[in-house]
Amino acid sequence: MMGGLGGMMRSDGSNAQEEAFGSVYNPRVIRRMIPYVTRQKRLAALAVVSMLIYTVTAAAVPWIVKVAIDDYIRAGDFTGLTWVVGVFIANATLSWGANFAMDLSLARAGQNMLHQLRNDLFKHLHRQSVSFYDRTEVGRVMSRVLGDVYQLQQLLEVAVITLGDLLGLVWIVAALMLMSVELGLISLAAIPLLVIVMALWQPLARKAFIRVRNAVAIVNGSLNENIAGVRVVQAMNRQEKNLRNFDALNLENYRSNLYAGRLSAGVLPPVDTFTALSIGLAIFFGARLVSSEALAVGALVAFIMYIQRFFDPIRNLTMQYTMLQRAMASGIRIFELLDTKPDLADAPGAKDLPRLKGGIELRGVSFGYSPAEDVIKGVTMRAEPGQTVAIVGPTGAGKTTLVSLMARFYDVERGRGAVLVDGNDVRDFTRKSLADQMSMVLQEPFLFSGTVRANIKYSHSGASDAQMTAASRAVGAHDFIMKLEDGYDTYLHERGANLSIGQRQLISFARAIVAAPRVLILDEATANIDSYTEALIQQALQRLLRGRTAIVIAHRLSTIRSADKIVVLNRGEVVETGTHDELMAGDGLYTHLYQMNYAAMEETLSAPGAATLLR
């Protein structure tokens, strides 16, 4: 994995703390967040202004009570008191409105930032090359896009609320000192004790929250694995054992959450105790000051109200500290992911490929997924426009790697050969212009949630219904599609789970040819299809491949026999090239493979009734 994603790829417990928490302030994250915040500058400004108004109005309540008692109630001025009550109501209304505006603007700004961040991540992830996903766990990528973005979305909200709490504390301390410095210092004497308690509580809470996060991740991973592999679980009769394993993991999740809950609840009694202690000190010493007329009664009442309000922001700040840590850690991981440059990118000034004739050539290509070992070693081969070239070889020979290089899922390093189409080095042109003229059908069919129509037109949304139907008829899919509940408008579940594997593959074939590609690559595309369906597809392919270049990998495709050229790979090297008859006459690796694997297909096709099947 790249250094930039080192934190993302950690899977060992030794780095769990770094995964869950970061520093409470990271300038790099703040700098990267600025563009997202500036796009919401009006909402952010409204949130800050509303927060200031709310903080001032909340801090003004005890002071208004003080004025009401000392200036009007003691003097018996009920007319003036009426005005004070009006001011009190107006202040409460303004406070409510400011709080509502702050919450609403923060929610909208946060959701807008979340929307933009997820779009940026989605766009960036689609730019990544296949090699990125070869070495990156999909679950961790999903965690970044969903979990970390949500944590980072809270950053603006937490920052504004934290600023409001800090300002609230400043207002309260200033008000206490204005009324009586002596009583203010006495009332706040319990704060050092509270700081000590919080200092002891914070590391315990941090470890507890890390334990919860890890326990939840393990439970989710086990649940996902057992649901995805439910067929294997039931086939192996592992339900009871897996339940016991899951119960043990779930029990740890239960215990860790209980422990974290006890810690969260345990911080409240000390805060309440210190609040009561401070109020008690204020009453005890304040009564003496009142009796000596050094302090007014209203001021003493205001003191008590301010002290009650003083400890709530401290408790909130403790919780927000942890949230800020999580948000910063999530920000680091998100921006490291966004900073990961694609391994495969169009060269500066790359142009679009002109309309292809279909010629494909590999010149001395060597390639490996890691520097330590080459999978393809000095391969040279050529497919003329309109030719069908079959690539065969034992498992691990490098067949799929070879066609992946042709489709430019990976780039060949400069100086290690070249892949050319119509004589043009593919690295000098945009990959999109190559993909627009090349289709690929893989061994494992992948359909998206949506209608059959949307899946067939997936890469060619502008195709007409007539083209869609023609493509489906050509591969023998039309009849079974029309028997579905809503025909081409039938909704397919995730990965096409409501279809058989063979039906999914037929739709994949229709999707590949509806765009009328100049080059068609079949990577063991009929491995999961029965012999009857394959024979139908072979008959269709004889028509479809006319005028198109086809690269075919298969173990039992009869197309191999009639291919214009057969390339035999072994351990990443071309060991034989020729037609079926030429290679059979040579009695080499192809002959051995054919006798082991392909003869069975030939027997099926030449069996009684096969002629009728192929009509």
Query: What string of H, E and C letters represents the secondary structure of 253-297?
Result: HHHHHHHHHHHHHHCHHHHHHHHHHHHHHHHHHHHHHHHCCCCCH
To the nearest 10 degrees (0 to 180), the angle between helices 465-474 and 531-544 is 120
Count, in order, helices (H) and strands (E) of the chain.
25, 12
Whether residue 29 has pLDDT greater than 90 = no
- pLDDT reported for residue 97: 95
- pLDDT reported for residue 19: 43
Distance between CA atoms of 36 and 46, rounded to whole angstroms? 16
Whether residue 334 has pLDDT greater than 60 = yes
pLDDT band at 11 (very low <50, low <70, confident <90, very high): very low
Task: Calculate what percentage of the chain has a pLDDT beyond 70.
Answer: 89
DSSP element (H, E) containing 446: none
pLDDT band at 1 (very low <50, low <70, confident <90, very high): very low
- pLDDT reported for residue 513: 85
What residues contact residue 478 under an 8 Å CB cut-off, 6+ apart? 469, 472
Q: Are 286 and 295 in contact (CB under 8 A)?
A: yes
Neighbours of 542 (CB within 10 A): 12
Distance between CA atoms of 202 and 615, rounded to whole angstroms? 78
Distance between CA atoms of 526 and 532, rounded to whole angstroms? 11
Whether residue 18 has pLDDT greater than 50 = no
What is the torsion angle, in degrees rounded to the nearest 10, for the CA atoms of residue 298, residue 303, residue 305 and residue 311? 180
pLDDT band at 459 (very low <50, low <70, confident <90, very high): confident
Distance between CA atoms of 319 and 148, rounded to whole angstroms? 18
Q: Are 403 and 551 in contact (CB under 8 A)?
A: yes
pLDDT in tens, 587-611: 888 888 877 765 554 554 454 544 3
The phi and psi torsions of 570 (rounded to 5 degrees) equal -150, 120
For 413-431, b/e burial (b = at least 16 CB within 10 A) is eeeebbbbbeebebbebbb
Whether residue 153 has pLDDT greater than 80 = no
pLDDT in tens, 542-560: 767 777 898 988 766 556 7
DSSP element (H, E) containing 365: strand 360-367
Whether residue 89 has pLDDT greater than 90 = yes
pTM of the model: 0.69
Distance between CA atoms of 138 and 88, rounded to whole angstroms? 56
pLDDT band at 613 (very low <50, low <70, confident <90, very high): very low
Q: Determine the 3-state secondary structure of 565 from DSSP.
A: strand
pLDDT in tens, 358-397: 899 999 999 988 888 889 999 999 999 988 899 988 888 8
Closest to 383 (Cα-Cα) out of 518, 194, 183: 518
* Average pLDDT, integer, range 216-239: 78
Q: How far is CA 609 from CA 78, 318, 562, 604, in A?
A: 109, 79, 21, 10
Owner of token pair 């142009």: 351
Residue 344 has which token pair? 């495969």
pLDDT band at 574 (very low <50, low <70, confident <90, very high): very high
- pLDDT reported for residue 23: 56
- pLDDT reported for residue 528: 67
Owner of token pair 């505006």: 101
Average pLDDT score, the chain: 81
- pLDDT reported for residue 614: 33
Maximum average pLDDT range among 66-70, 133-137, 442-446, 585-589: 66-70
Distance between CA atoms of 230 and 246, rounded to whole angstroms? 14
pLDDT band at 2 (very low <50, low <70, confident <90, very high): very low
Q: Are 147 and 330 in contact (CB under 8 A)?
A: yes
Q: Determine the 3-state secondary structure of 522 from DSSP.
A: strand
Domain 23-179+327-342's class?
A: mainly alpha
Whether residue 15 has pLDDT greater than 70 = no
The phi and psi torsions of 610 (rounded to 5 degrees) equal -65, -35
- pLDDT reported for residue 609: 46
Could you tell me the residue ranges of all domains in the chain? 23-179+327-342, 181-294
Closest to 24 (Cα-Cα) out of 317, 261, 339: 317
Three-state SS string over 302-332 comes to HHHHHHHHHHHHHHHHHHHHHHHHHHHHHHH
Distance between CA atoms of 162 and 321, rounded to whole angstroms? 9
Encoded amino acid at 114, one letter: L
- pLDDT reported for residue 313: 80
